[in-house]
Chains A and B, each alone.
Chain A
């Protein structure tokens, strides 16, 4: 086991304290089961999600940089953010503070006024929950921990937008064998395959769920989500595995909305990849927060004899 990500700072973010609590619960449970240490950032703040940048992008850079400065103050070199939005924003802040002098100036000014440590690019590395498990445990390590294989479960791996786009804020991706791909990401596929799942060929891995406008433009979001759900079903998937609380709740909400408002029913289930991993590691449904999902997956898990 590589020691690099054995103990990392943990940035759950707002969604994981609210609608995405199941993701928070299952991420921590999986980490514990695998012997990985997560230390939550002290007194963190919101990263700015997808909204603050529309008011002013440098404000979002400041919000994200404040969290990175906390990790630095706590003596960490790595911060792990499971939420795609948080992960994306922290990466974006890191990029802007390395390349854009105006962003550096605004961030320094705001940090000085607010009276906390100024974050400088290069101080802390931001990783996703996928990187965390992939690089600390890996597929082989994971196989040894699997107690309850996901055999027979057909999974469509859904990565969403913010994990791979725009490409320039992820300098470590697209670096050849072993690195993540921005056009055809595979880390989630790799981990779930190691847990025994059968991944289906899903062409919409990085398509958009309309999460930015889940509420402000429900019509567009429902159409986009319905396309994701129906395609997953056409690919033969039982489950869509997610890695982002915005995508996850968007999929759940618009699955229901498509059914209630348009009478288009889909029965593919939606679970966080950490929930699936947790079940494979022998954790109970309660431990990975199956009861906290808006959609009900109990019948499927019973039918497939998982968890």
Chain B
């Protein structure tokens, strides 16, 4: 049974008796410190296969734990708990409980691809982060994270119209995540811009919010993509052993 040192050093795993005498020897206080959990028994052996079945996770099996990804990581530099190398290790060894401790930060990967650039084994750690975040959500471990809400809103607009209109994305994203549109910093920004813009351009921008830009003759592309998305969704759920949605 392997011993996973990472889980040994957490304070909740340490037991220290304030008063303890064993065979007449006083081992009170730190003399009696020992680690409670030494072995892991609840492996999720399906986890690596499931995550590698999701888009982006395909090459997780190549990882040999050099840590180049974490070393290069943009988010790790501002939050040391964000550790792609460690998460890949946990996924590959099936340590689900350990992975779940970090379930609420994995979605924060900014897709800068520094990890993918640095990786000597072409694991595509950026893709693994996305697949893992997706897995956590599909399995019901986390609620839908802001980035996923944004991605879905964005994709829906493109699939429907062929184009994106940034004002509309902004409004609908704030509405869906329950944030006020009139945030102090955003208001300050728009105000400084509006005072400098010529009337003609303002009118044009106003009209763009009324008449959304769209690609002409898009309906067949839309149908083809909607069909593909539904197909993929069914496949992904099946790979994770989940019931089909419809």
- CA gap between A45 and B161 in the complex, in Å: 9
| A interface footprint on B65-80 (CB within 8 Å = 1, 0 otherwise) | 0000000001100100
Q: In the docked arrangement, what's the CA distance between A256 and B14, Å?
A: 46
Which residues 163-199 of B sit at the A interface, judged by CB distance below 8 A? 163-167, 170, 173-174, 177, 184-186, 188-189, 192-193, 196-198
Among B174, B192, B224, the most chain A Cβ lie within 10 Å of the Cβ of: B224
**Residue B234 is within 8 A (CB to CB) of chain A in the complex:** no
Contact assessment for B155 and A210 in the assembled complex, using a CB-CB cutoff below 8 Å: no
Query: A116 — which chain B residues lie within 8 A by C-beta?
Result: 221
Stretch of A2-10, A121-129, A189-197, A217-225 that contacts chain B: A217-225
B166-A43 in contact (CB<8A): no
Q: Which residue of B lies closest to A249 (CB)?
A: B166
Select one of B78, B116, B224 contacting A114, CB under 8 A.
B224
Residues of A within 8 A of B229 (CB): 55-56, 59
Contacts of A133 in B (CB 8 A): none
CB distance from A166 to the nearest CB of B (A): 4
Contact assessment for B225 and A296 in the assembled complex, using a CB-CB cutoff below 8 Å: no
Chain A positions within 8 Å of B164 at CB level? 14-15, 18, 46, 49
Tell me, yes or no, whether B1 is within 8 Å of chain A by CB. Answer: no
In the assembled complex, how far is the CB of residue A254 from the closest CB belonging to chain B, in whole angstroms? 9
Within 8 A of B (CB), among A69-128: 106, 109-110, 113-116
Q: Least Cβ distance of A32 to chain B in Å?
A: 19
A292 within 8 A of B: yes
- Assembly CA distance A46 to B127 (angstroms): 21
- Fill in one digit per residue for A52-63: 1 if any B CB lies within 8 Å of its CB, else 0: 111111110011
CB distance from A234 to the nearest CB of B (A): 17
Whether B158 and A294, one on each chain, are in contact in the complex, defined by CB atoms closer than 8 angstroms, is no
Inter-subunit contact A110/B55 (CB<8 Å) = no
Q: Which residues of A contact B34 (CB under 8 A)?
A: none
Interface size on A, residues (CB 8 A): 63
Chain B: number of interface residues, binned into ranges:
35 or more
A45 near B221: Cβ-Cβ < 8 Å:
yes
A274-298: CB near B (< 8 Å → 1, else 0) gives: 0000000000000000011010100
Q: Give the interface centre of B155, B213, B216 by most chain A CB atoms within 10 Å.
A: B155
* CB–CB B108/A51 < 8 A: no
Q: B158 contacts which chain A residues (CB < 8 A)?
A: 45-46, 48, 52, 63
Once the chains are docked, how many angstroms separate the CA of A111 from the CA of B78?
42
Output the nearest chain A residue to B111 by Cβ-Cβ distance: A212
| B26, CB-defined interface residue at 8 Å | no
Residue from the list B114, B134, B213, B218 in contact with A14, Cβ < 8 A: B213
Q: How far is the CA of A258 from the CA of B152 in the complex (A)?
A: 28
Q: Decide yes or no whether B37 CB sits under 8 A from chain A.
A: no
Contact B78–A223 (Cβ < 8 Å): yes
**Interface status of A1 (Cβ within 8 A of chain B):** no
CB distance from A35 to the nearest CB of B (A): 27
Q: Which one, B113, B173, B227, contacts A166 given CB within 8 A?
A: B113
- A208 contacts B117, CB within 8 Å? no
Give the distance in Å from the alpha carbon of A50 to the alpha carbon of B170 in the complex. Answer: 15
A291:B198 contact, CB within 8 angstroms: yes
CB < 8 Å: which of B112, B220, B221 contacts A161? B112
| CB-CB nearest in chain B for A55 | B155
Whether B74 pairs with A208 at a CB distance below 8 angstroms is: yes
Bound together, the chains give a CA A207 to CA B114 distance in angstroms of 9
Which residues in B have their C-beta under 8 angstroms from that of A217?
108, 110, 146-147
Contact B148 A54 (CB under 8 A): yes
Chain A residues within 8 Å of B185, by CB: 253, 256-257, 259-261
Contacts of B55 in A (CB 8 A): 53, 56-58
User: Are A113 and B108 touching (Cβ within 8 A)?
Assistant: no
Name the one of B74, B167, B192 contacting A224, with C-beta atoms under 8 angstroms.
B74
Which residue of chain A has its CB nearest to the CB of B149? A216
- Report which A residues bind B (CB closer than 8 A): 14-15, 17-19, 21, 43-46, 48-59, 62-63, 66, 106, 109-110, 113-116, 161-162, 164-167, 182, 207-208, 210-213, 215-217, 220-221, 223-224, 252-253, 256-257, 259-261, 291-292, 294, 296
B residues in contact (CB < 8 Å) with A: 55-56, 74-75, 78, 108, 110-114, 116-117, 124, 127, 130, 134, 145-152, 154-155, 158, 162-167, 170, 173-174, 177, 184-186, 188-189, 192-193, 196-198, 201, 208, 213, 215-218, 220-221, 223-225, 227-229, 232
Q: List 10 A-B contacts (CB under 8 A).
A: A18-B166, A19-B166, A43-B216, A113-B224, A210-B74, A215-B170, A220-B78, A223-B78, A253-B186, A292-B201
- Given A114-B223, A261-B184, 17 additional A-B pairs, CB 8 A: A18-B166, A45-B221, A48-B158, A50-B111, A54-B148, A59-B225, A63-B158, A110-B221, A110-B228, A114-B220, A114-B224, A161-B113, A208-B114, A215-B170, A220-B75, A259-B185, A292-B201
- Which 6 A/B pairs are nearest by Cβ-Cβ distance? A208-B112, A113-B224, A216-B146, A51-B154, A260-B185, A165-B113
